[in-house]
């Protein structure tokens, strides 16, 4: 096996894009990331490619394993054609250890995540645990039976009165980490400028948010869905997700992909009502 670590996003993009596209929906996160990185227009936060870990493991046939990590977020992996090769995983684990690269967690397809976690933790002498069980869904339409309550609009500067707190609430709910609201005000300005984060209002009151997080050839994803505690369990999150997905379809994309926590009953309800198709289950595995 041959290990290659990349410092140049354009070289990494050239070598891995077509491979990752073999399972476009499954690879929505690494594909979306390398597309953003290759375009080079957006370097805010984790999008600064100089901080990324990008690597492949190849044999005489070609690339067998693709790895990309955008700190502070997790390592993502793709086994070419979903054929898991333990020799390639061992090669990657050994090189990560040898180069002293910090891996907080791995987030990828369930079987691949489990195999990498076992090999990496054994090689490094660590323990690992499953932090979160996730499911990837895709849909080609929005079920008209899902009620769209309220009206959608793009986030604006006037929303700075509450937006940093909503972002903190989302991060706490999804990642299990809080952010410093004062220091994170720059993130709120970024979201306003991006033109992809939407606010759902009901009778003029902001009640939920959701964002178009990735845009690829035919596929887009919706994420960052959040409703503050007072408005939770009122259907606003579902309405916001459905409304933002509808905007994506109106832009000409054919498929919407979402990643959900299997413990989140609200999002599971949305997927059931939408008739969404399961792509695969994924795991977030934490190393201790």
Q: Are residues 98 and 164 in the same domain?
A: no
Crossing angle of helices 185-194 and 163-175, rounded to 10°? 100
Q: Would you say residue 140 lies in a domain? A: no
Do 185 and 251 have their domain in common? Answer: yes
Asked whether residue 162 falls in the same domain as residue 274, the answer is: yes
197 with 268, same domain: the answer is yes
Give the CATH number of the domain where residue 105 resides: 3.40.630
- Write out the residue range of the structural domain in which residue 110 sits: 2-126
Report how far apart the first and last C-alpha atoms of the chain are (Å, whole number).
28
**pLDDT in the model for residue 12:** 98
Short-list 142, 9, 17, CA closest to 69: 9
Name the domain boundary from 93, 126, 159: 126
In a domain, 205, yes or no: yes
Tens of pLDDT along 176-212? 666 666 666 888 999 999 999 999 999 999 999 999 9
Render the chain in DSSP notation, one character per residue. -EEEEES-HHHHHHHHHHHHGGGTTTTHHHHHHHHHHHH-S--SGGG-GGG-EEEEEE-SSSEEEEEEE-TTS-EEEEEGGG---HHHHHHHHHHHHHTT----EEEEEHHHHHHHHHHHHHHHT--EEEEEEEEEEEESS--TTS---SEEEE--GGGGGTHHHHHHHHHHHHHS----TTTTHHHHHHHHHHT-EEEEEETTEEEEEEEEEEE-SSEEEEEEEE--GGGTTTTHHHHHHHHHHHHHHHTT-SEEEEEEETT-HHHHHHHHHHTPEEEEEEEEEEE-
pTM: 0.86
91 and 213: one domain? Answer: no
* 287 occurs within a structural domain: no
Are 201 and 269 in a shared domain?
A: yes
Domain membership of residue 228 (yes or no) is yes
| 142 domain-assigned | no
| 171 and 250 inside one domain | yes
| CATH classification of the domain holding 252 | 3.40.630.30
Q: Are 249 and 272 in contact (CB under 8 A)?
A: no
Q: Is residue 271 part of a domain?
A: yes
138 in a structural domain:
no
Cα of 154 vs its chain's centroid, Å: 21
Which residues of the chain are under the pLDDT cut of 50?
A: none
pLDDT of residue 264: 67
Strand order of the β-sheet with 197-202 is 2-6, 53-58, 63-69, 75-79, 105-109, 277-287, 128-139, 255-261, 219-226, 205-215, 197-202, 151-154
Q: Do residues 177 and 235 share a domain?
A: yes
Quote the number of domains for the chain.
2
Same domain, 69 and 167: no
Residues 26 and 64 in one domain: yes
77 belongs to a structural domain: yes
End residue of a domain, out of 76, 110, 126? 126
């Amino acid at each position: 096996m041959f290990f290659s670590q990349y410092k140049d996003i354009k070289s990494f993009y050239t070598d891995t894009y077509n491979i990752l596209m073999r399972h476009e929906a499954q690879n929505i996160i690494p594909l979306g990331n390398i597309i953003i990185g290759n375009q080079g227009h957006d370097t805010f936060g984790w999008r600064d490619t100089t901080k990324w870990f990008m690597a492949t493991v190849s044999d005489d046939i070609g690339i067998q394993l693709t790895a990309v990590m955008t700190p502070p977020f997790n390592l993502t992996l793709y086994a070419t054609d979903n054929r898991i090769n333990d020799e390639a995983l061992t090669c990657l684990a050994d090189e990560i250890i040898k180069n002293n690269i910090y891996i907080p967690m791995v987030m990828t397809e369930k079987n691949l995540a489990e195999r990498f976690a076992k090999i990496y933790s054994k090689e490094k002498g660590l323990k690992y645990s499953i932090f979160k069980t996730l499911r990837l869904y895709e849909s080609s339409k929005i079920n008209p039976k899902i009620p769209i309550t309220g009206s959608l609009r793009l986030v604006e500067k006037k929303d700075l009165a509450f937006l940093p707190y909503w972002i903190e609430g989302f991060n706490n709910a999804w990642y299990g980490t809080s952010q410093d609201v004062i220091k994170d005000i720059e993130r709120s300005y970024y979201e306003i400028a991006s033109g992809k984060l939407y606010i759902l209002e009901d009778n003029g009151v902001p009640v939920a948010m959701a964002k178009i997080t990735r845009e690829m050839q035919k596929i887009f994803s919706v994420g960052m869905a959040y409703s503050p505690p007072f408005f939770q369990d009122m259907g606003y999150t579902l309405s916001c997700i459905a409304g933002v997905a509808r905007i994506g379809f109106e832009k000409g994309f054919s498929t919407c992909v979402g990643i959900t926590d299997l413990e989140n009953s609200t999002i599971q309800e949305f997927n059931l009502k939408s008739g969404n198709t399961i792509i695969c289950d994924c795991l977030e595995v934490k190393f201790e």
